[in-house]
């Protein structure tokens, strides 16, 4: 009985821990897969990971928090489009894929249409109790090109990670000499 209880408790702890933001893993950070590098106009250079370009994650679709946590374990985070140029860089890379959640809203590249035929963001799923507080880049899903849509965060999507200066510096500060 005690053993069962412990297993249950461990199970509950695992379920709960999965819904928290993950800490970076130094080895995973050092060995992270980098598909592309982009330097913005400010001279900030980040590397990026595209889930559909990597064998083990090719068919993986996850929600917003899982995407962030996979990224975060590798000293990255869900991509954040801070400039129109960075947005174009990501769009070109998407090609035939659609990508998932991100952490920032920006004045940006919103679609003129969506499930209700209304311009985005339209918070369409709010009526069902799901605020559309995640940003998704959909690839011509509404015959609208590669465009931004607000979506509910439970939707499962491929995802893009971008280097997180915060997490890279965190790991550097605790692992002197580590090459990231
Ligand atoms: Ca960025
Ligand atoms: Ca929407």
pLDDT in tens, 116-164: 999 999 999 999 999 998 999 998 899 998 999 999 999 999 999 999 9
Reduced DSSP (H G I as helix, E B as strand, rest coil) percent helix, strand, coil of the chain, to 5: 35, 20, 45
- Ligand that comes closest to the CA of residue 44: 1
pLDDT at 100: 46
CA distance 92 to 85: 11
Q: What is the pLDDT of residues 82-94, one digit of tens each?
A: 889 999 999 888 8
CA distances for 61 relative to 24, 99, 106, 156, angstroms:
21, 9, 24, 5
pLDDT at 92: 87
Find the 160 Cα to ligand 1 centroid distance in Å.
11
pLDDT at 3: 54
pLDDT at 108: 75
CA distances for 13 relative to 18, 65, 73, angstroms:
8, 17, 19
Cβ(90)–Cβ(79) under 8 Å?
Answer: yes
Is residue 149 within a helix (H) or strand (E), and if so which, with residue range? Answer: strand 146-151
pLDDT at 104: 44
Find the 167 Cα to ligand 2 centroid distance in Å.
30
pLDDT at 86: 92
Local structure of 109: helix, strand or coil:
coil
Q: How many CB atoms lie within 10 A of CB 111?
A: 23
Find the 152 Cα to ligand 2 centroid distance in Å.
8
Average the pLDDT over 68-76 and give the result: 97
- Ligand that comes closest to the CA of residue 112: 2
- Ligand that comes closest to the CA of residue 90: 1
pLDDT at 124: 95
What does residue 77 show for φ and ψ, rounded to 5 degrees? Answer: -150, 170
Of 123, 83, 86, 89, nearest in space to 107 by CA: 83
Find the 38 Cα to ligand 1 centroid distance in Å.
9
Find the 177 Cα to ligand 1 centroid distance in Å.
26
Find the 144 Cα to ligand 2 centroid distance in Å.
13
- In the predicted structure, residue 78 carries a pLDDT above the cut 50: yes
Q: Percentage of the chain with pLDDT > 70?
A: 83
pTM of the model: 0.81
pLDDT at 4: 53
CA distance 39 to 65: 26
Find the 146 Cα to ligand 2 centroid distance in Å.
14
pLDDT confidence bin for 95, thresholds 50/70/90: low
Cα separation of the two ends of the chain: 46
pLDDT at 105: 44
pLDDT at 42: 85
Find the 8 Cα to ligand 1 centroid distance in Å.
40
Find the 176 Cα to ligand 2 centroid distance in Å.
44
Find the 116 Cα to ligand 1 centroid distance in Å.
30
On the 0-12 / 13-18 / 19+ scale of CB atoms within 10 A, 37 is exposed
């Amino acid at each position: 009985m005690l053993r069962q209880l412990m297993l249950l408790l461990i199970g509950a702890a695992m379920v709960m821990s999965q819904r928290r933001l993950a800490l970076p893993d130094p080895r995973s950070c050092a060995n992270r897969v980098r598909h592309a590098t982009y330097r913005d106009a400010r001279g900030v250079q980040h590397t990026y990971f595209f889930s559909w370009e990597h064998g083990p994650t090719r068919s993986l679709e996850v929600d917003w928090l899982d995407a962030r946590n996979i990224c975060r374990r590798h000293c990255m985070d869900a991509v954040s489009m801070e400039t129109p140029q960075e947005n174009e860089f990501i769009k070109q890379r998407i090609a035939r894929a659609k990508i998932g959640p991100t952490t920032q809203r920006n004045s940006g590249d919103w679609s003129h249409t969506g499930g209700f035929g209304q311009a985005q963001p339209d918070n369409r799923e709010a009526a069902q109790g799901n605020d559309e507080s995640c940003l998704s880049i959909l690839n011509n899903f509404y015959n609208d090109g590669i465009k931004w849509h607000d979506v509910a965060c439970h939707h499962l999507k491929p995802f893009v990670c971008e280097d997180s200066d915060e997490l890279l510096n965190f790991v550097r500060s605790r692992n002197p000499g580590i090459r990231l």
